[in-house]
Structure 1
């Protein structure tokens, strides 16, 4: 599980290497109470959506011209709810991306979807449009939990959508949310085992986190929402690892589990390894090598501002070149989440050494280990990775 050989990690970052493409579709049928993404309600916005599709394609070609001809690593349509995007528009965007970059073999093309009956009706059309990997935001299979999470589907609807998805896609992933109020280990075990039985090759279980400004954030501030304490959350995390490992899943990243190397998300791995990727759409983040510098980009958040910005040649609200320290810190923050870890040479930019200082201490304490020229978080270190990173990067 920990051998990165053959996976071609992008260490050090190669400015001439492959590029991934992330497309942000901001529309949702309903805004979930835990969501702090850049999203809006999908109602009566047909003209706006048409303009946004044209802007995304124009932005794509402009960014592609700027960075030059590059091999295409992956495509990921996220949001929001990109399964609400008209399939013909999805096909146009995919065709444009493949036209803008060099495609020399099969490319993973992922789309996020919600398991409602209305969206499931489009699955076959989305597959025909070019999507070859579907990520279903089921979040739970329990009706009471789904109601609490503000989802617009129930467990039966989710199972129908999963059945339909399996007819059109051989590669399926499911998102689940745990560490909910009053959730027990027994409840989570049963729910997780039920999800495993549905046949997914990839499962992404996320602990429920509360962000200020969301409905759940306001409820927590009022004291009406209380999540499991640290020990309770740790028990649920360990349960997640145990159940999925027993079912044949590798925890190749802190919150991502796959049945074998080929089931891993190519797009996410490209990002975690430090590869370049375009961010297209309102509020989309990107990382590009521009003028020799790793550069963080963020699209204008408001849809009309993004559309106008693309037309004016200024799609980004932020364009920040990263110095060597910032680029190394980001590489470590992302890479230590994976079983591949990070090349030990990356730590030199931060004057971190396995022979002394905080890095040596974390190795001695069993939170990190050296493996084939890479630094990897151990099973002991991964559950407390935020604290490990805090000690490394402070």
Structure 2
């Protein structure tokens, strides 16, 4: 099952935000995230807020777009009543779950609602996630016609036994097909990979990265497998059926991916993300890492506006009930104090190639940076130019870098 919602104060039924949100929203970019919580099968490693058909408890997939559109319409009223400055969406991201289990027409209807209620900036980035076996050429063409600009395919691996260990259902041969169909439709393409799967060798991983590069995606993500409590994978490891991922092997896999991607013309811009050019970076995810504002639509979705964070009811049935009754689906929220916001800024921006200014850390922070340079965790030339940029080694120990920055009270 998905992890529990965070603690916080109850959210009001009307969804109104505290006055601080209006002040904090000035000057921030705005995006929209739409969570589509449906999956055909639950992957053994997955801890996301997703549901198979047998887990819906009366909620209906066919009704989902209408409920999400109801929240989108409500969101504009909430922001207006809360006196938050209205901004068009610079990015829209449909994630899940598997958004493309819904008909393309439903995804386009939800995007149309975002366009109607908020507007989209010129050149807005509009992405949907998709599994290689959840879309066909007609679906992708319809999405592109409806305003989508980008698709992110959950490739995960090119090796059949690795996909089987992850409970992924697609054939590796499907990936070149869907990439070609997306290109034919005029969509930018991102491929997602996972490394450190039990039973995956360094040779297996090389095969997957090389297969991904061969498709020449605009963007590629590579994330280490995390064994989450309560998942099927965690139970298999606890019973000794699968081996726990090796930290040393995962480090070797990361370094290999970075080497292969760099040689192929990809540049890292976030610890786990590479792109062929700055214009192909995931602008939506950059908004998260830079602390921008976004409205999260759907069951369990999180939102952030002006230093106020809130989250929706998790289950699709509970979410549908609240929206149908005319209530906000938000069930909890927290107002971030200055210390928490600064901690999150350092935590997230440190992962970016160009995300954290050394000057913003104060004199104490600059002393810490000197030590990080000495330990080959931070690039010396970039630091002299005013930017905290992780070295190759620093990316392997990004959590250590963040901990040292925060422990030494870098903010003055």
What TM-score do you get using the length of structure 1 for normalisation?
0.88
Q: Structure 1: how far apart are the matches of 2:328 and 2:359?
A: 36
Residue of structure 1 aligned with 2:378, choices 365, 368, 371: 368
**Secondary structure, counterpart of 2:32 in structure 1:** strand
Partner of 1:106: 123
Q: Please tell me whether the aligned partners of residues 100 and 135 of structure 2 are also in contact (alpha carbons under 8 angstroms).
A: no
Q: Please tell me whether the aligned partners of residues 296 and 319 of structure 1 are also in contact (alpha carbons under 8 angstroms).
A: yes
Residue of structure 2 aligned with 1:32, choices 43, 56, 74: 43
**Secondary structure, counterpart of 2:35 in structure 1:** strand
* Structure 1 residues 268-279: aligned runs within 5 Å: 268-279=285-296
Partner of 2:6: none
Q: Structure 2: how far apart are the matches of 1:120 and 1:210?
A: 34
Partner of 2:28: 17
Q: Structure 2: how far apart are the matches of 1:104 and 1:244?
A: 31
For residues 248-287 of structure 1, the C-alpha deviation after alignment (integer angstroms, 9 at most, x for no partner) is 0001111111101111111111111111011110011111
- Say if 2:401 is the partner of 1:388: yes
- Say if 2:319 is the partner of 1:319: no
Residue of structure 2 aligned with 1:298, choices 267, 292, 311: 311
Deviation of the 1:14 alpha carbon = 5.4
For residues 329-349 of structure 1, the C-alpha deviation after alignment (integer angstroms, 9 at most, x for no partner) is 11111111110122346545x
Residue of structure 1 aligned with 2:72, choices 57, 60, 71: 60
**Secondary structure, counterpart of 2:158 in structure 1:** coil
Q: Structure 1: how far apart are the matches of 2:390 and 2:361?
A: 14
Deviation of the 1:128 alpha carbon = 2.0
**Secondary structure, counterpart of 2:334 in structure 1:** strand
Unaligned runs of 5+ in 2: 1-23, 408-412
Q: Structure 1: how far apart are the matches of 2:211 and 2:159?
A: 10
Q: Please tell me whether the aligned partners of residues 142 and 154 of structure 1 are also in contact (alpha carbons under 8 angstroms).
A: no
Q: Structure 2: how far apart are the matches of 1:322 and 1:74?
A: 23
RMSD after superposition:
2.2
Q: Structure 1: how far apart are the matches of 2:54 and 2:201?
A: 38
**Secondary structure, counterpart of 1:106 in structure 2:** strand
**Secondary structure, counterpart of 1:180 in structure 2:** coil
What TM-score do you get using the length of structure 2 for normalisation?
0.84
- Judged with a 3 Å threshold, the aligned counterparts in structure 2 of structure 1 residues 282 and 98 are, in CA distance, closer, same or farther, namely same
Deviation of the 1:359 alpha carbon = 4.7
Q: Please tell me whether the aligned partners of residues 300 and 313 of structure 2 are also in contact (alpha carbons under 8 angstroms).
A: yes
Count, aligned residues: 374
Q: Structure 2: how far apart are the matches of 1:261 and 1:371?
A: 23
For residues 55-96 of structure 1, the C-alpha deviation after alignment (integer angstroms, 9 at most, x for no partner) is 222222222231341132100000000011222211111111
Unaligned runs of 5+ in 1: 1-12
